[in-house]
Amino acid sequence: MTSIHILHDGFAAAERLADLFARRRLLVTRGDVAQAQGASVLVAPAAGAADERRVLDCARAAAIRMVVTVREGAAVFIVGTEMGGRMLRVALPAHSGDDTPDCGLLMLADLIAAPLRPMVACDPATGNLLDLSTRVARTDVTVFINGPTGSGKEVLARAVHAASPRADKPFIAINCAAIPENMLEAILFGHEKGAFTGAATANRGLIRAAEGGTLMLDEVSEMPLGLQAKLLRVIQERKVTPLGASTEVDIDIRIIATSNRDMAAEVDAHRFREDLYYRLNVFPLMTRPLASRPEDIPALALSLLRRHWPLGTIPLFDAAAVAALCRHPWPGNVRELENVVQRAMVLCDGTRIAVEDIVFDTGRDLNLPAMRPAPQAPVTLVRAG
């Protein structure tokens, strides 16, 4: 298992950082540099040149993939990279110490954890969902993920795939609602050359493209009834017949289906086959609306900010901005949050994100505030001559 080792001597935030990693279900160890054997990432407080050289030598001997040095008490959050991205230097602002989330520490945790476990988990409910997904990932059973739009169903599906024995094989996602009905069968099952007008070459189809890996059927409730019967046979027999072919082809895939609909109601209304539903709903997982997991809101906002903002000086949300984010009901869930974060990136002054930079969707024209001028570097006058 990939792990993170934290050098705790002289690192005031070590315990709180370890807790954030543990919420994300990452293995964390703490101690001196000699105990870092087997870790993937080493996190150390910034030190003098001699101590840093010793840390780097030990990291190299232990085959550690990335070293992160942290200078606490900085004025702003800054990330610098060295050694082709294998070493990060982070300037971490001091936390006010009140009950508001420590945005700098949340940003640092996401910066380190994202390559190891992309799914953000800070709220206990999300941690419990990660635990369930890890357990089901060890098996090969079919998974059905249900939840509102924008609540992270595909992210969870990818987490299941990444934790499974199929992790090094393809993960193929298909949005059943986005492909025209007359093309969906050919795209899923594949076709032989000449199977229909325009089929100049054969195509394996997405089911066979996922061979050995995972096929995610996103919004499977939108699949036409006629195609549902054919999918049912594929799941039961683990065989697929391409269009225009006379023989079946064995397949070895894991299926994860998702939907934002009430599937029991869909079955009752005869819009979804009951037998297919039970074939897909072997192990159900449920994603929750963003507003019902409040501790995830600042963590996700900072993770989205990190993804969209280039490395260097990264602005953080101030306390009033975080409070505004946590109060909002988030009907659009994480997709709406991403919109709000990107607006704030445009409106902020580049050093911090204030509450004035937070603009929510209201269903009407956005009421954008006047932009604050970016801080200017001081000008030094030089006397001529």
For residue 113, give Cα distances in angstroms to 10, 121, 317, 318, 323. 22, 11, 20, 23, 25
3-state secondary structure at position 188: helix
For residue 264, give Cα distances in angstroms to 195, 230, 272. 36, 21, 9
What pLDDT, on a 0 to 100 scale, did the predictor assign at position 219?
95
Partnered with residue 27 across adjacent β-strands are 3
Beta-carbon contacts of residue 52 (< 8 Å; ≥ 6 apart): 46, 69
Prediction pTM value: 0.89
Percent helix / strand / coil, the chain, rounded to 5 = 40, 20, 40
- Regarding predicted confidence, which is higher, 364 or 94? 94
Min mean pLDDT across 102-106, 301-305, 368-372 is at 368-372
3-state secondary structure at position 66: strand
Q: Which of 37, 39, 254 is nearest to 163 (CA)?
A: 254
What pLDDT, on a 0 to 100 scale, did the predictor assign at position 230?
87
Averaged pLDDT for residues 251-267: 96
Other C-beta atoms closer than 10 Å to the C-beta of 206 total 21
Averaged pLDDT for residues 123-149: 96
Q: Which of 248, 284, 31, 12 is nearest to 141 (CA)?
A: 284
Q: What distance in Å separates the CA atoms of residue 88 and residue 80, rounded to the nearest whole number?
A: 6
User: Are the CB atoms for 328 and 359 separated by under 8 Å?
Assistant: no
What pLDDT, on a 0 to 100 scale, did the predictor assign at position 121?
95
What pLDDT, on a 0 to 100 scale, did the predictor assign at position 247?
85
What pLDDT, on a 0 to 100 scale, did the predictor assign at position 248?
87
Averaged pLDDT for residues 147-165: 96
What pLDDT, on a 0 to 100 scale, did the predictor assign at position 370?
62
User: Are the CB atoms for 344 and 353 separated by under 8 Å?
Assistant: yes
User: Tokens 């079919």 belong to which residue?
Assistant: 142
Averaged pLDDT for residues 7-32: 93
What pLDDT, on a 0 to 100 scale, did the predictor assign at position 51?
82
Q: Which of 84, 82, 77, 76 is nearest to 52 (CA)?
A: 82
What pLDDT, on a 0 to 100 scale, did the predictor assign at position 366?
64
pLDDT at 52 over 80: yes
User: Are the CB atoms for 176 and 223 separated by under 8 Å?
Assistant: yes
Q: What distance in Å separates the CA atoms of residue 28 and residue 43, rounded to the nearest whole number?
A: 11
Other C-beta atoms closer than 10 Å to the C-beta of 233 total 14
